[in-house]
Amino acid sequence: MPAPSFLGPRRPLSRWTYLAIGLPLVLSQHLLVALAFGGEEMPGLRSPEFWAFPFRALTSHPNLSPIAAALAFAFALGIAWALAELSFRRCEGGWTADLAALALLPPLQIPLVLVLALFPAPLGGADIDDADERDSVQSAHHAVQGVLAGAAIIVFAVLVSAVTFGAYGWGLFVLTPFTMGLTTAYIANRRHPLPKGHTLPLVLGAAALGSFALILFALEGLFCILLAAPLGAAVAALGGTLGRAAALAGHRRGRPFLAVGLLPAIFALEAAMPPEAVIKTAESVEIAAPAEQVWAALTSSEPIASPAGWVGRAGLAYALGGRIVEPAVGGDREGRFSTGVAHERITAWQPGRRLAFALVSQPPAMEEMSPYRRVHAPHVQGYFDTGETRFDLAALPGGRTRLTITAFHVLRLDPVLYWQPLARWAIRSNARRVLGDIRDRAAAASARLARRG
């Protein structure tokens, strides 16, 4: 039986039907971003990056909440899935069906629709073998082949994308698991179609085996794999659905999926067009102490006493304390973190009012969970950078002080809308911990002075 489709009975689409449905699907993403900004000026509207990665522009929206980011990302995945299904229907059974996997990559969606719409008719393929000639031994053999092939694709993609090109984007986190699911499901079903419900466990098993291999070969740590797992599993399941459908539809058995061969080119393209999303966060706390005592606690070299919480358990970098080397604008400050020492340059020094500093160099953003001392994962350095951090003190009635920390970070991971909420959570957790420590020390010092008086 053919696999189900949101377009109804599976039959090839004409080029005009494909174009009439596919192009509005792609452009709906750009329209949604424009509507999100409303009457406000949207950065980069005329830039090629906006048309290649429309949802990157949302990261600069001043009021983008984590829920809105998650909904926007879900919308982008929904469009990619619908376009992939549409593209498979356009070239049902032919070798061009391999190209449908490229619908998962935003910069290739518009070109893909235009290219596939140029074909005058779908290219047919050969029929799959008669079911009577298949037996359970062959079925198990092809299932194992599919799992091994899927795991190999994961390791290959990380070696090329992350280790070689240093690219962490849609190609690695979306196209790779989709292609893995597509290939695993196709190989497992190409001669002896498995019963419904049997393909998904094989796809997830290939993903788990590939992830284990990444840890075994010291290419990734456990926590990073767990962070990417929800997205990867969802996209792999979609790829598995279409891979099984391709096998049942008579996809030519002798041709490898072109998407696997195109992965290196996609990774190179993303390395040349990396994202750079600026994240601004601000957190405040009211302290039962005058500004001079808050300033003393802020500039103290005492270590931060409060535990790091989930940020520390996850292996993400967290502050341990700081030391001001030269108390003046242009002076040096050292920030001690769980992953090393950050060297900072003071950009604002107004005792009792404001302290700001910019990062000159910083330690890794996290420590990998791995049995090895060193993991070959470039993303721990340079893909999540801190810009300027500013502390503002404002006097309040009753001898109280409001302390506000404003920080700027740069995220260079795609899909930005998937990783940004996690980055914001880590930033805010660290900021609240630092503010809480300053509050407790300043309040304690103020209470001691009051008792002495």
Within this chain, do residues 234 and 122 fall inside the same structural domain, yes or no? yes
| Chain center to CA of 389 | 24
Residues 268 and 371 in one domain: no
How far apart CA 88 and CA 217 sit, in angstroms, is: 35
pLDDT for res 138: 57
**Helical H segments across 47-167, by residue range:** 48-52, 66-90, 106-118, 136-157
| Extended strands (E) in 208-362 | 277-287, 319-324, 332-337, 340-350, 354-361
pLDDT digits (tens, 9 = 90+) for 393-426: 999 998 899 999 999 999 999 999 899 988 999 9
Which of 237, 272, 307 finishes a domain? 272
Q: Are residues 203 and 331 in the same domain?
A: no
Residue 327: is its pLDDT beyond 70? yes
The answer to whether residues 137 and 264 belong to one domain is yes
What's the whole-model pTM score? Answer: 0.76
Same domain, 263 and 348: no
Weakest mean pLDDT among 41-45, 278-282, 300-304: 41-45
pLDDT at 263 over 90: no
List the strands of the sheet with 354-361, edge to edge.
277-287, 400-411, 384-396, 354-361, 340-350, 332-337, 319-324
- 382 domain-assigned: yes
Beta-bridge partners for 348: 356
- Give yes or no: residues 61 and 189 share one domain: yes
Structure tokens at 367: 């420590």
pLDDT in tens, 89-102: 787 655 455 667 77
User: In terms of domains, do 91 and 171 share one?
Assistant: yes
Residue type, 78: G
Unique residue bearing structure tokens 């926590």: 223
**Percent of the chain residues topping a pLDDT of 90:** 38
The dihedral built from the CA positions of residue 44, 49, 50 and 56, taken in this order, carries a sign that is: negative
| pLDDT at residue 104 is higher than 70 | yes
* Same domain (yes/no): 258, 288: no
Angle subtended by helix axes 106-118 and 66-90, to nearest 10: 20
339 lies in the same domain as 419: yes
Please identify, among 272, 297, 323, the residue that sits at the C-terminal boundary of a domain. Answer: 272
In a domain, 5, yes or no: no
The answer to whether residue 377 is domain-embedded is: yes
Kindly give, in sequence order, each residue whose CB lies less than 8 Å from that of residue 162, ignoring residues fewer than 6 positions away.
168, 172, 219, 220, 377, 378, 379
Mean pLDDT of 203-228: 89
Within a domain: 9: no
Reported as a pLDDT band with limits 50, 70 and 90, residue 139 is: low
136 and 207 co-located in one domain: yes
Measured between its terminal Cα atoms, the distance across the chain in Å is 86
Domain count for the chain: 2
Mean pLDDT on 197-215: 90
Among residues 218, 237, 272, which one ends one of the domains? 272
Residues in contact with 364: Cβ distance below 8 Å, sequence separation at least 6, in sequence order? 317, 339, 340, 380, 381
Band of pLDDT at residue 453, cut at 50, 70 and 90? low
* Residues 260 and 316 grouped into a single domain: no
CATH of residue 324's domain is 3.30.530.20
pLDDT digits (tens, 9 = 90+) for 144-192: 778 888 888 999 999 999 988 999 999 999 999 999 999 999 988 887 7
Average pLDDT, the chain: 83
DSSP 8-state class, residue 353:
T
Give the pLDDT score at 221.
86
3-state secondary structure of 237: helix
Residue 227 burial (CB < 10 Å; 0-12/13-18/19+)?
Answer: middle
Q: Which stretch of 56-65, 180-189, 425-434 has the lowest confidence by average pLDDT? A: 56-65
- In this structure, is residue 171 part of a structural domain? yes
Within a domain: 95: yes
Question: Are 447 and 300 contained in the same domain?
Answer: yes
Q: Report if residue 446 sits inside a domain.
A: yes
**Containing structural domain, residue 360:** 277-452
CB distance 169 to 414 below 8 Å: yes
Question: CA 287 → CA 75, 291, 407, distances in Å?
Answer: 42, 9, 20
Whether 64 shows a pLDDT value over 80: the answer reads no
Residue 8 lies in a domain: no
The confidence score (pLDDT) of residue 80 equals 83
Taking 50 as the threshold, does the pLDDT of residue 9 lie above it?
A: no
Instruction: Supply 181's token pair.
Output: 């699911």
